[in-house]
Amino acid sequence: MKKVAVYDIEGKKTSEEVELNEQIFGIEPNAHVLHQAVKVYLANQRQGTANAKGRSDVAGSKKKAINQKGSGGARRGGKRSPLLVGGGKTFGPSPRDYTLKMNKKQKLLAKKSAFSDKASSDGVFVFDNFKFDVPKTTKFLNVLKGMEVLGKKVLVLVDSYSYIDDDSKYDNTVNILKSARNIKNIRCQVADTVTTYEIINADYLAIQKDALKTIDRVNA
């Protein structure tokens, strides 16, 4: 079972190590399912609202304006012709639904594969459950500097279950998110709603210690 060191608020390694769940961080990544998950995610981001008016949608007379031959120009009909300015668009885009779907087992396998891929390449870091009374970007910068990931694309995952019955933990989670969100190339997400695409798109994962419990709970 893979073990990783825990970093403190100063960005230094502590003597503590945590074990990553082998069923989530230690499986053989399924490349096909990963590709499918990314494809579905990107497709579902598309609005599909592009639209252009065809000749039947624009205003104008249908009466043939010029003779079929003898004008020296194109053989067109009325003012709605695509050959004229203000006419309809030939083969223009129309609204469509790009939505794709995956079943639950595929989604779960894809997310586990993404976590395992990061763990196998030493791309997973864990930081302690330190307390942030107020948002403080410089403090979180120290953590990233200690991990030697500053300047890279880092996905920060914070706990989203332990604060359900504790308002102080909720405030602490919010302060951590606010402390990290203004740092370049840093993306923050709660551990229970993170997507496979977000994991794959990051160079490294910085996971709060309590967030590992959330990941185990959601992906078991």
Are the beta carbons of 27 and 87 closer than 8 angstroms? no
pLDDT of res. 48: 94
Are the beta carbons of 115 and 4 closer than 8 angstroms? no
Contacts of 112 by beta carbon, 8 Å cutoff, 6+ apart: 23, 24, 27, 219
Contacts of 81 by beta carbon, 8 Å cutoff, 6+ apart: 55, 87, 88
How high is the mean pLDDT of the chain? 91
Distances (CA, A) of 122 to 2, 130, 194: 10, 23, 19
Q: Where are the beta strands (DSSP E) in 95-198?
A: 124-127, 154-158, 186-190
Q: Find residue 19's DSSP bridge partners.
A: 3
Sorted by where each starts, the structural domains of the chain and their CATH numbers stand as 3-29+105-219 (3.40.1370.10)
The rounded distance, in Å, linking the Cα atoms of 120 and 130 is: 27
Q: What percent of the chain has pLDDT over 70?
A: 96
Q: Which residue has the higher pLDDT, 167 or 39?
A: 39
Are the beta carbons of 41 and 196 closer than 8 angstroms? yes
Mean pLDDT across 63-86? 91
pLDDT for residue 91 is more than 80: yes
Q: How confident is the model at residue 164 (pLDDT cuts 50, 70, 90)?
A: low
The rounded distance, in Å, linking the Cα atoms of 137 and 3 is: 28
pLDDT for residue 153 is more than 90: yes
DSSP assignment letter at 198: H
The rounded distance, in Å, linking the Cα atoms of 159 and 9 is: 16
pLDDT of res. 160: 75
Can you read off the two tokens belonging to residue 155? 């996905």
From the DSSP assignment, how many helices (H) and strands (E) are in the chain?
A: 7, 6
pTM of the predicted model as reported, rounded to 2 decimal places? 0.84
User: What is the three-class DSSP state of 7?
Assistant: strand
Q: Where are the beta strands (DSSP E) in the chain?
A: 3-7, 13-19, 124-127, 154-158, 186-190, 204-208
Helical pair 209-219 and 104-120, crossing angle rounded to 10 deg: 150
Q: What is the tens place of the pLDDT at every residue in 113-144? A: 999 999 999 999 999 988 888 888 998 898 99
Distances (CA, A) of 167 to 126, 163, 164, 208: 23, 6, 7, 18
Choice among 8-12, 31-35, 82-86 with the minimum mean pLDDT: 8-12
Q: How confident is the model at residue 46 (pLDDT cuts 50, 70, 90)?
A: very high
